[in-house]
Structure 1
Amino acid sequence: MDTENKKGPIWTKTAETIVTKMKGQKVLLPDNLEPVGGTPDYFKSIKNHQFKIVSYIDANCGVCIEDLIFWKKFMKETPIKRDHCAFIFYINTFDKEEFQKNMATTHGFTHTWVHDPNDEFISRNRLYDKRLQTVLLNKNNEVVIIGNPVLNSDLEKLYKKVLLF
Structure 2
Amino acid sequence: MKLYSKLFIFFYIVFCLLACTTKEMNKLKKDYKSFMGRRVDLPFKEMRHLSSQGIDFKNSNNANSKYVYVSYLDASKCSPCHLATIGKWEDIFSIFDRNDLPIEIVIIYAVKEQSVSALRKSYEYNGCIRHVYIDTSNQFEKSNKFLPKDNKLHTFLLNPKNEVVFIGDPTRNSKIRKLLLDYIENIL
TM-score, L = length of structure 2:
0.71
After TM superposition, the structure 1 stretch with the greater mean CA deviation from structure 2, 128-137 or 152-161, is 152-161
Correspondence 1:20 to 2:25: no
1:37 maps to 51
| 5+ residue gaps, structure 1 | none
Distance in 2, matches of 1:9 and 1:111, equals 39
Q: Indicate the percent of aligned positions where both proteins have the same amino acid.
A: 20
1:81 maps to 100
Q: Which has the higher helix share?
A: 2
AA in 2 matched with 1:37: S
Which of the two has higher C-alpha Rg? 2
Provide the aligned length of Structure 1 versus Structure 2: 160
Deviations 1:103-126 (A, max 9, x none): 21x211121321112433245242
After TM superposition, the structure 1 stretch with the greater mean CA deviation from structure 2, 9-18 or 130-139, is 9-18
Distance in 2, matches of 1:122 and 1:148, equals 19
Distance in 2, matches of 1:143 and 1:92, equals 20
2:140 pairs, out of 111, 121, 126, with 121
Work out whether residues 57 and 67 of structure 1, in 8 Å CA contact, stay in contact via their aligned partners in 2: no
| 5+ residue gaps, structure 2 | 1-15
Correspondence 1:51 to 2:64: no
- How far residue 153 of structure 1 moved from its aligned partner, in angstroms, is 2.5
Correspondence 1:137 to 2:151: no
Secondary structure at the counterpart of residue 45 of structure 1: coil
Distance in 2, matches of 1:114 and 1:102, equals 14
Distance in 1, matches of 2:171 and 2:150, equals 14
1:100 maps to 120
Tell me which stretches of 4 or more aligned residues in structure 1 moved more than 6 Å: none
AA in 2 matched with 1:114: Y
2:8 maps to none
